[in-house]
Structure 1
Amino acid sequence: MDTSESSTAPEAGPDDDPAPEVGPRRGWRRWGMDTRPLRRPAYRRLWSSTIVTAVGSQLTAVAVPKQIYDITGSSAWVGYASLAGLLPMVVFALWGGAIADTMDRRRLLLITNTGIAVTSVLFWIQAATGLDSVGVLVVLLAVQQAFFGLNAPARNASIARLVPADELAAANALGSTVMQTGLVAGPLLAGALIPLIGLPELYLIDAFALCVALWAVVRLPALPPLAGAVARRAGLREIVEGFRYIARHKVLLLSFLADVIAMVFGMPRALFPQLAAETYASYGEGLAYGLLFAAIPVGAVLGGLFSGTFARARRHGWMVIWAVVAWGAAIAAFGLSDGLWWAVVFLAVAGVADMVSMVFRGAILLSAATDEMRGRMQGVFTVVVAGGPRLADVLHGTAGATFGPRAAVAGGGLLVIALMLGLAATVPALRRYRI
């Protein structure tokens, strides 16, 4: 069977958990989040570990740039630190994907979660002792991002071993909703706690949260390579083999291209400061800035909470196509809007579309790839998700300076629609994909 046009169900393994049969969902429950995967103890443990880290990790994500700015008084240094964390994450995500295909993924999660927790403790120590060294902060950030790069592919690739194929979309919706909730709640909590307890304690809270997550991972079943898998190293050749696998399986390549199109041409966050200061200044620059940044993740959370409306769809390819088109349309409408509240509404709609896209792109990666390749697919996925918005910052910043921010945003949204529809029309593999 050609996995470029139909799915490959997750291979059975000793870690499969039976779940009670449930009847069709009726009334309002049809619209709410599909929680079937939580009936499986192993997935529930993995998901619960994500809950505590989703908010905790955002505390550190807020604390590090705040501390760097306090030391230097320079936003440029904040930007340099962000770039310093990007390269290790990219390199180790690709390598981590290869490692996840060669060893017990539970063991890899234990090692990397421990590394991230130790890094958070070191963040706390340097802040509590008043070291005030940007160099130390940048090094710790690079190490933390390297551990994250190793961790993410193993975590995401494990999902297909814990739930059946028809629950992959629901499992991705559950995980993505938690992460998006962390993007909203974490910064808000950090903003409230910094004046009360200070930066060192934020790092310490994150370290405690990671210890809780580590305990949940300890209770996962072993996730070694499936019986019959060919023993291999985790070197450059294996990483290259992963890219060749993507090139051979068009539906996987198209799922990555769909995200690249949506994020690179349609993520306008680099223009939020200028829009808040100019277009929506009459509402208050601070209020406008905060609402613009919060609107997309809030929409994504709402999409996750009502994922019962779409998570059971079987035509995963078409769901990705229309989600990306809807994202582009919402971004274009945002660029054309004069009022702040309409802008927030359109960005929230974009967030819902992004959640739908995330759910089904993730499901395609897990179902269309064999287990021995899932780690490497998730490594590439991590790089695309992290790198796309950063490329968008450069592209939109340049376009905004040349054409004006609203024209750049609206043009980017329309370009997303044109490119996605063109890709779907010329390459049928994504249209045909279903489980």
Structure 2
Amino acid sequence: MDTRPLGVPAYRRIWIGQSVSHVGNAATLVAVGQQVYVLTDSSFWVGLLGMANFIPLVAFGLWGGAVADAVDRRRLLLIGSAISWASTLLILLQALAGLDNVYALLAAVALNATGFAISSPTRGAIIPRILTPELVPAANALNSLVYSLGAIAGPMIGGLVLAWSGYAAVYALDAVLFGAGLYAALRLPPLQPEGEVRRPGARAVVEGLRFILGSQVLLMSFVVDIIAMVLALPRALFPEVAAERFGGDPLALGWLNASMAIGSAAGALFSGWVGRVTRQGIALVAVIAVWGLSVAAAGFVHQLWAVVAFMAVGGAADVVSSVWRQSILQLHAPDEMRGRMQGVFLVVVAGGPRLGDLRAGATAVAFGVGAAWVGGGLACAAAVLAVGLSVARFRDYRADR
């Protein structure tokens, strides 16, 4: 793995801050999903958590990206992070008060998504400002490692704390660990916008969307990711599968939530080869097809270790896809457009899984959890091969041109 970006102090602090805070966030994700399932006894309601995330991500992700192109990005990162932290405290308070109200949980999750929608595109736009272009792909691989390791440790820790101490203890842990990310943002230098500054608003957002629509490569990189997450992601099914197949064991729930991240961490740790692949268009289609088939295979088996193993293969494929897509986007856009590009990236990358949660929950109610899981994976593999290979400019795209 290429670790040269860690030699840059500003990036190193961001990386460490995200490493710590993401553990708490992933633990909360497990606990909130489990709490909603216990309150409602329905995977559909767990899927609605995805919509509670998705709507603010769309609205504030596009707007936050436009703002990031017009103001000091350090200050905007602090504002978004503070909103997310406040939502974590609200989730903690509802658990301490014993409200047991699914609507309160949905509202708090929506507030958290608002903060994330502001801070995430801002952070993505900061990376090319504090690193040289040749270090950007390596930084994206390191970022993927952060999220992967957090998504392994967070669910496992969340499952243990949930079993021993309950929901409030998990949410309290998240609130404490979040401080590491805030510290990293505070230590950044001022990052005023460069190039032509556009006033944030609908016109600036439309300019960003027009920039993407004008490039078939950028547009298709988003399309194939939407196919992967909406059709194949089985995350909303984990509480029901843990209850039906593994006796409701919180540790089994933790393993299910960590399974994709185990593969993602392995893929990121051995990502040095990723930068040497030049035909990234057809390679993206291939790894997303592997993701879909791995998800389908995981849905067929009933042993916990086998489910985790197949989902880990899918996670490794997904992290490679993520590194290629993010690097293409960051290096194709000028600095005055990077915030808006990252806003659209956030809507697709973070919003797609939320729609996937809704798809999984709804199809599980209609056809059963097995059909929702396996059918989604097979549909993903078929769709990405059909769509991705049909666009010549994307299929033949080479990174060295």
Task: Answer whether TM exceeds 0.5 for this pair.
Answer: yes
1:260 is the counterpart of 2:210: no
Which moved further from structure 2: 418-427 or 127-136? 127-136
Corresponding residue for residue 102 of structure 1: 70
Measured in 1, the distance between the counterparts of 2:37 and 2:380 equals 35
Corresponding residue for residue 270 of structure 2: 306
Counterparts of 1:38-117 in structure 2, within 5 Å, are 38-65=6-33, 72=39, 75=42, 80=48, 82-117=50-85
SS at 1:426 equivalent: coil
Which residue identity is paired with 2:281? G
1:319 is the counterpart of 2:271: no
CA contact (8 A) 1:46 1:217 kept: yes
Corresponding residue for residue 4 of structure 2: 36
Aligned in 2, Cα 1:225/1:188: closer, same or farther, shift over 3 Å? same
**Cα displacement string for residues 106-161 of structure 1 (whole angstroms, at most 9, x for unaligned residues):** 11112222222233334444544556665554433322221111111101121122
- What RMSD, in angstroms, separates the aligned Cα atoms of the two structures? 3.1
Corresponding residue for residue 190 of structure 1: 158
CA contact (8 A) 1:173 1:311 kept: no
Measured in 1, the distance between the counterparts of 2:37 and 2:6 equals 41
Counterparts of 1:86-235 in structure 2, within 5 Å, are 86-128=54-96, 136-194=104-162, 196-226=164-194, 229-235=195-201
Which residue identity is paired with 2:176? F
Corresponding residue for residue 331 of structure 1: 295
Aligned in 2, Cα 1:74/1:266: closer, same or farther, shift over 3 Å? closer
CA contact (8 A) 1:42 1:162 kept: yes
CA contact (8 A) 1:316 1:364 kept: no
Measured in 1, the distance between the counterparts of 2:354 and 2:142 equals 25
Which moved further from structure 2: 136-145 or 356-365? 136-145
1:238 is the counterpart of 2:213: no
Which moved further from structure 2: 144-153 or 190-199? 190-199
Q: 1:384 pairs with 344, 348, 351, which one? A: 348
Quote how far apart the aligned CAs of 1:199 are. Answer: 3.8
Q: Which runs of 5+ in 2 are unaligned?
A: none
Corresponding residue for residue 358 of structure 1: 322
- The TM-score with structure 2 as length reference comes to 0.86
SS at 2:188 equivalent: coil
Which residue identity is paired with 1:246? I
Quote how far apart the aligned CAs of 1:273 are. Answer: 5.9
Quote how far apart the aligned CAs of 1:363 are. Answer: 0.8
**Cα displacement string for residues 357-407 of structure 1 (whole angstroms, at most 9, x for unaligned residues):** 111111111111222222112112222123323333444556567776656
SS at 2:190 equivalent: coil
Measured in 2, the distance between the counterparts of 1:401 and 1:122 equals 30
Corresponding residue for residue 397 of structure 2: 432
Which moved further from structure 2: 189-198 or 239-248? 189-198
Aligned in 2, Cα 1:269/1:170: closer, same or farther, shift over 3 Å? same
Aligned in 2, Cα 1:310/1:82: closer, same or farther, shift over 3 Å? closer
CA contact (8 A) 1:319 1:360 kept: no
Aligned in 2, Cα 1:84/1:328: closer, same or farther, shift over 3 Å? closer
**Cα displacement string for residues 302-338 of structure 1 (whole angstroms, at most 9, x for unaligned residues):** 1112222324434433432322122233234445557
Quote how far apart the aligned CAs of 1:230 are. Answer: 2.0
CA contact (8 A) 2:65 2:118 kept: yes
CA contact (8 A) 1:330 1:350 kept: yes
CA contact (8 A) 1:331 1:413 kept: yes
Aligned in 2, Cα 1:403/1:143: closer, same or farther, shift over 3 Å? closer
**Cα displacement string for residues 21-75 of structure 1 (whole angstroms, at most 9, x for unaligned residues):** xxxxxxxxxxxx22121112221122112111111222333444555667x5655
CA contact (8 A) 1:34 1:311 kept: no
Aligned in 2, Cα 1:395/1:203: closer, same or farther, shift over 3 Å? closer
Quote how far apart the aligned CAs of 1:197 are. Answer: 4.8
1:373 is the counterpart of 2:337: yes
CA contact (8 A) 1:275 1:405 kept: yes
Measured in 2, the distance between the counterparts of 1:201 and 1:367 equals 42
Which structure has more helix as a fraction of its residues? 2
SS at 1:377 equivalent: helix
Quote how far apart the aligned CAs of 1:218 are. Answer: 1.7
